[in-house]
A and B are shown apart, each in its own frame.
Chain A
Amino acid sequence: DAGVIQSPRHEVTEMGQEVTLRCKPISGHNSLFWYRQTMMRGLELLIYFNNNVPIDDSGMPEDRFSAKMPNASFSTLKIQPSEPRDSAVYFCASSFVGDTEAFFGQGTRLTVV
């Protein structure tokens, strides 16, 4: 397996634009996590899914953020409209439900100007 695949690796966008980050988890994994990492706030859990169902989205900063997992092999994190303070590295990770060993993707570095 190629591991967790995230796209794009880098994204530069203008304030107010919609941004969509994509994630393909490891085949067979049934938990998926979205994180945001900044120097100031560290690695924050935004939302996680078990068996494609959102379990906890309390980390989603505001209504501008939304995440979906339409099937077991794909998830998106959308920011609309984007703001400069959304600039961060966004990580996706997957694991088996109930397993604390998660595998992370390479991340998407988002810059909102």
Chain B
Amino acid sequence: LAKTTQPISMDSYEGQEVNITCSHNNIATNDYITWYQQFPSQGPRFIIQGYKTKVTNEVASLFIPADRKSSTLSLPRVSLSDTAVYYCLVENSNSGYALNFGKGTSLLVTP
């Protein structure tokens, strides 16, 4: 399994763009990068997934450089409701998509 490393916590003010970077130096060719969001007292929720370059949806953007050894989740103009824990996962079919979550990054957004 490709191990991931992310910051334990981040702080931001409302309206700012937040970028959370995840390192996955041992990523394999058939690995996909997936991000989840977890609000307090809820289960994690899928945000976005990518393989390379850039992916964007209504919630976030995911930037993956050519070597794929890292990825950056970008949250534009965060609000207080974006306060949550964000998890970076690297999974492939060989692992049966076991969805192993690490400790994640705890994002606190303040006024």
Contact = CB atoms under 8 A, between A and B. Distances in A.
Interface residues of A, number: 26
Interface string A91-113: 10101011111111111000000
27 contacts: A42-B102, A43-B38, A43-B87, A43-B104, A44-B101, A45-B100, A45-B101, A48-B98, A50-B96, A55-B96, A55-B98, A93-B43, A93-B44, A95-B99, A97-B96, A97-B97, A98-B93, A98-B97, A100-B34, A100-B89, A100-B99, A101-B49, A102-B46, A104-B42, A104-B44, A105-B43, A106-B42
Contacts of B100: 45
Given A93-B43, A104-B44, A42 B96 contact: no
Contacts of B104: 42-43
Interface string B37-52: 0100111111001000
Given A43-B87, A93-B43, A48 B101 contact: no
A75 interface: no
A31 B87 CA distance: 20
Interface of A: 4, 31, 33, 35, 42-45, 48, 50, 55-56, 91, 93, 95, 97-107
Contacts, number: 63
Q: How large is the interface on B (under 10, 10 to 19, 20 to 34, 35 or more residues)?
A: 20 to 34
Contact of A91 (B43, B49, B93): B43
Nearest to B48: A101
Contact of A33 (B38, B49, B99): B99
B98 A45 contact: yes
Nearest to B47: A101
Nearest to A58: B98
